[in-house]
Amino acid sequence: MELSGKVTIITGVSKGIGRATAEALLAKGALVAGWGRTAPENLTHENFQFFECDVRDEVSVQEAFVNTQRELGKEVHVLVNNAGIGNFGPIDGFSSEDWHAMFDTNVHGLFYCTRAVLPQMKQQKLGHIINVASLAGTAGTANLAGYCATKYAVRGFSDALFKEVRPQGVRVTCVMPGSVETNFNGATPGQEPDPHKIQPEDIADTIVHALEAPQSTMISELQMRPTLPK
């Protein structure tokens, strides 16, 4: 897809992968609607608009979508379902609140956002949905059972969805990064890039690569790992 002038919605836009993806798409000339609970700091661009949205709240998602169409036009070409959280720990010490928070954000929020944009994308017979999962959606890890469960769900949802919507010209890509240097799970990125972790900008570039693939081609899954493991 040619990205210049295309309307793109990105969830979890305030930092990390979401912000990096917003900047990469703005550099390609896209019109970016950033959805999140907090606006990204110092991201000022004539083609960027922030819309307050809590993806866990179905009504909040609907309002953000209505506001996006009002401000940027009816057509919506790209949705990047990036918002996500991870709460780690042993299952027998895990709170129900933390469990539900992950599913509400990582799975239910992704469903609300996808359902909002699909009718318009189908009508256009053009659209691309990027679901940011994780390598945790391919293999279980001790003390990450809840997080893995949400990312397995995202991968399964993506696999089923692309088969459902590709006859209408809508593409779906599931991006599964390994260790990323972000603020995820309370971590603080270092001043120098960690050579054993993927940088958010690298994932953003990969998302752009999938979006720019010829319309006759759909990259359904992408697994990403650091070249130099610890």
Does 193 have pLDDT greater than 80?
Answer: no
Amino acid at 33: A
At residue 69 the predicted structure's pLDDT band, cuts being 50, 70 and 90, is very high
For residue 216, give every residue at least 6 positions away whose Cβ sits within 8 Å of its Cβ, in sequence order, or none: none
Edge to edge, the sheet with strand 127-132 lists: 48-52, 31-36, 7-11, 78-81, 127-132, 170-177, 221-224
Cα–Cα distances in angstroms (integers) from residue 125 to residues 5, 130, 143, 207, in the given order: 17, 16, 42, 20
Which pLDDT belongs to residue 180? 77
Does 188 have pLDDT greater than 80?
Answer: no
Could you tell me if 157 and 103 are in contact, meaning their C-beta atoms sit under 8 angstroms apart?
A: no
pTM for the whole structure: 0.94
Does 44 have pLDDT greater than 80?
Answer: yes
* Catalytic site includes residue 147: yes
CA distance 93 to 125: 47
Q: Which of 51, 147, 152, 157 is catalytic?
A: 147
Does 30 have pLDDT greater than 70?
Answer: yes
Could you tell me if 17 and 199 are in contact, meaning their C-beta atoms sit under 8 angstroms apart?
A: no
Which option is the CATH number for 7-224: 3.40.50.10490, 3.40.640.10, 3.40.50.720, 3.50.50.60? 3.40.50.720
Q: What is the arithmetic mean of pLDDT over 135-143?
A: 95
Which pLDDT belongs to residue 78? 98
CA distance 72 to 86: 32
Mean pLDDT, the chain, rounded, equals 94
Tell me, rounded to whole angstroms, the distance of Cα 82 from its chain centroid: 2
Q: Which of 124, 116, 55 is nearest to 83 (CA)?
A: 55
Which pLDDT belongs to residue 185? 47
